[in-house]
Structure 1
Amino acid sequence: MTLRQQYIAWVIIAALAVALLILFRPILLPFVAGMAVAYFLDPVADRLERWGLPRTVATLLIILAFFLIAILLLTFLVPVAVHQLESFIKHLPEYIAWFNGRVLPYIESLTRRFGIDLRGNVEQALSGNSGQTVAMLGNVLNSLLGGGWAIFNAVSLLVITPVVGFYLLRDWDHMIARIDAYLPRDHAETIRTQALEIDRVLAGFVRGQVLVCLFLAAFYGIGLSVAGLQFGLFIGLTAGMISFIPYVGTTLGFAVSVGVAIVQFWPDWVMIAVIAGIFAVGQFIEGNILHPKLIGDRVGLHPVWIIFALLAGGTLFGFLGVLLAVPVFAVIGVLARFLLERYRKSLLYRPGASPDPKA
């Protein structure tokens, strides 16, 4: 087979993979979630196996423990968080009225000094874009919920994902060995090298970021609740769990919590500073301890690249796309760096030089 025929074959394989993904995307969520669970927990299973436990026993213990903890957390936290969300929405008009009566006049007096009609500009923007905003939010929610498949996905996550996760985790090493046996022999070493690089990126980001988000959710939720902030658990959990989007989770959580604190504790600036300090401490721990230890600079995924990946994945495939976004774009990033390295060693980059035999 010539090099051109090999390229054509790989393009056809990639096109078929994308077509199958689009065709079966309504039912893929529990399988992708199970694969993610297996990938995330494979190092734990390998360690238990090295300690002498059979792979099947180790897998069963890990899956049971993982989903038991998940169910317990959902059982105790979700009802409280939902109740706080409902209460927050109920009191939102009061917060807006308080802001308009107490804070907005000061901001308007300041902006008028610069010749800016803040209230007029805001009202014009809201009246002109409210319809578009509602339509956009509706489209996003519809995309994420997946229409009529939302209930099926929710049930399948509880029923199918544990089964898929168990079998994939149990047979993970065998599947990797089987895939390796089918690699084209002339390019097997190159493919293994790139696969290891992809695994390094995914392990550094996905596993590390999950642990960071869990810590921040617990830290913010407990910290804000102990400080006595209304809806503190809901705000803290939300801020921590969406911290996988760079800067968005912390910024949004800080703004909402400080806003609620101003309304609740005004004019007690000490308590308002305490609420702001919780996010400052959380950011210090994340930036100086968690991120360097769990993720580090070796990941090679720029924050802008991550944000684009999440938005693109959510727009195209809903929640399934959000799950697949970072892994897929990490693979693209690794392959792009590999191709650029080959390009810089080729005659196309250096026409006058002799070709690199390794390129």
Structure 2
Amino acid sequence: MVDRTLRRIFILSGIVLLLWVLYLLKPVVIPFVVAFFMAYLFSPLVEQFCKVGLPRWLSISLVFIGIGIALTLAVWYIIPLVWKQLMIARDSIPVGINWINSTFLPWVSSTFHIEEMEIDTSHMSSIVMDYVQTNYSADSIQAMLLSVAQSGLNFIQIGGTVVLIPIIAFYFLLDWQRMLDSLRRLIPRPYEQSTLAVVQECHSVLGAFVKGQFLVMILLGVVYATGLQLIGLEVGLIIGMVAGLASIIPYLGFAVGIVAAIIATFLQFGIDWMQLVLVLVVFMIGQAVEGYILQPFLLGDKIGLSPVAVVFAVLAGAQLAGFMGMLIALPVAAVIVVLLRHLRDFYEKSYLYGQPVVVSEDGASGDISIDTAQVHIDIELDPQSANSLQQTEKSSKIKPSDQQNS
């Protein structure tokens, strides 16, 4: 008993020490973790190429080349459109300021009986310049330049990490099967089948959710962008794209998109209630398409969480890991749900849950059967043992009055 306890303490101490070392090496470990998940996402596509008969290195190269071409084409066609939308937004700012000064602020003043206000851009610029000259000396400027230089070095480091991740992912994919076999050999033999079943279910849920969520983001962005362009909003394309990408976090895409669309509508059309109604209609249609078409057909019930649990998962992810935590909150929640489901099944089958032990005996043969939630035991007795057992039972049933009468 003491040896087993010490062994468990030693194993737990080793795990804690390993996690602490990984935490200290977080800047080094993060690229490898990202590369591992990148390899995990693209490994099914590589396997499809390998089934055709291509070498594994060539299959991986084709996948990466295809991803690079797709990203290049997307950037080639999207950047000019986004730039045009940004120029339209820039030109709309003076118009919006003029509308605020001539329409909105007088309406606020007359409605709430307050002193009239006006946005003076030249006065605001002079205030900013005075603040900079007053609060920032030559030493502050030197510190700011050093900060900019440090930021530049950080940017170079981030760029190097971005280049390093695909290279690491390539080598992960090259040794993917060997790495999986090595991980499989670490599983204790008695728990191999159950562990692999849990891992396979997590893999199925996670893969289906990631692919479905990616398609939902793209199609929802197309719906929003098309609808906003059709109602005449000049920056509708960029707003729809941002709303679609932000929908990776539940409810964030809808919130960001509708707020940005309402602001853009005010800047472009002023107080036009019909345009505001059209913006609301576009986003209501987008929510209906997402809720009744995209989510059921592309995602289904892959996570198994209620809307309240989804919000809690996103907020918990944001609290624990910031924006990155919000991005990975739902996939992690999907895996946790699978693990909790298996843990509940294990608990319900354990003696702690109160499963009864059923002992039955066959009177003819004398065999004994023991049934529990985990095992079924049949005990077969030889005829002599069975006869002696029956004789013992019969003698135990004789009453004292019968012995006295005899």
Question: Taking structure 2 as the reference length, what is the TM-score of the superposition?
Answer: 0.65
Residue of 87, 104, 124 corresponding to 2:90? 87
Q: Where do residues 303-342 of structure 1 align in structure 2 (5 Å cutoff)?
A: 303-318=307-322, 320-322=324-326, 324-342=328-346
Q: Does 1:238 align with 2:242?
A: yes
- Relative to 1, partners in 2 of residues 1:165 and 1:241: Cα closer, same or farther, differing over 3 Å? same
Mean Cα deviation higher: 18-27 or 60-69:
18-27
Q: How much does 1:199 deviate?
A: 0.9
- Relative to 1, partners in 2 of residues 1:308 and 1:286: Cα closer, same or farther, differing over 3 Å? same
1:168-200 CA-to-partner distances (Å, cap 9, x unmatched) read: 233333322221122111111111011012112
Mean Cα deviation higher: 194-203 or 327-336:
327-336
Residue of 166, 172, 178 corresponding to 2:176? 172
Query: 1:144 is matched with which residue?
Result: none
Q: How much does 1:233 deviate?
A: 2.9
- Relative to 1, partners in 2 of residues 1:11 and 1:268: Cα closer, same or farther, differing over 3 Å? same
Residue type of the alignment partner of 1:164: I
Task: Return the structure number with greater relative CO, CA threshold 8 A, min gap 6.
Answer: 1
SS at match of 1:333: helix
- Relative to 1, partners in 2 of residues 1:215 and 1:326: Cα closer, same or farther, differing over 3 Å? same
Mean Cα deviation higher: 205-214 or 166-175:
166-175
SS at match of 1:297: coil
> 2: distance between equivalents of 1:13 and 1:100?
66
Is the Cα–Cα contact under 8 Å of residues 96 and 267 in structure 2 kept in the other structure? no
- Relative to 1, partners in 2 of residues 1:231 and 1:44: Cα closer, same or farther, differing over 3 Å? same
Q: How much does 1:269 deviate?
A: 4.7
Residue type of the alignment partner of 1:84: L
Query: 1:206 is matched with which residue?
Result: 210
> 1: distance between equivalents of 2:48 and 2:294?
23
Q: Which 5+ residue runs of structure 1 have no aligned equivalent?
A: 110-146
> 1: distance between equivalents of 2:210 and 2:110?
45
> 2: distance between equivalents of 1:331 and 1:270?
45
Query: 1:122 is matched with which residue?
Result: none
Query: 2:163 is matched with which residue?
Result: 159
> 2: distance between equivalents of 1:88 and 1:234?
15
Q: Which 5+ residue runs of structure 2 have no aligned equivalent?
A: 114-149, 359-371, 376-406
CA RMSD of aligned residues (A): 3.9
> 1: distance between equivalents of 2:205 and 2:95?
41
Question: Taking structure 1 as the reference length, what is the TM-score of the superposition?
Answer: 0.72
Q: How much does 1:275 deviate?
A: 3.0
Residue type of the alignment partner of 2:243: A
Query: 2:60 is matched with which residue?
Result: 59
1:258-288 CA-to-partner distances (Å, cap 9, x unmatched) read: 3432453356555444433332332233222
Query: 2:44 is matched with which residue?
Result: 43
> 2: distance between equivalents of 1:292 and 1:13?
44
1:211-266 CA-to-partner distances (Å, cap 9, x unmatched) read: 21122234323443454324323322221111122222113312331343245335
1:74-111 CA-to-partner distances (Å, cap 9, x unmatched) read: 465457647739839957984877666658988x89xx
Query: 2:26 is matched with which residue?
Result: 25
Query: 2:71 is matched with which residue?
Result: 70
Q: How much does 1:59 deviate?
A: 1.4
> 2: distance between equivalents of 1:104 and 1:47?
67
Is the Cα–Cα contact under 8 Å of residues 213 and 241 in structure 1 kept in the other structure? yes
> 2: distance between equivalents of 1:196 and 1:337?
14
Question: Equivalent pairs: percent with the same residue?
Answer: 32
SS at match of 2:159: helix
> 2: distance between equivalents of 1:157 and 1:89?
38
Mean Cα deviation higher: 225-234 or 193-202:
225-234
- Relative to 1, partners in 2 of residues 1:62 and 1:154: Cα closer, same or farther, differing over 3 Å? same
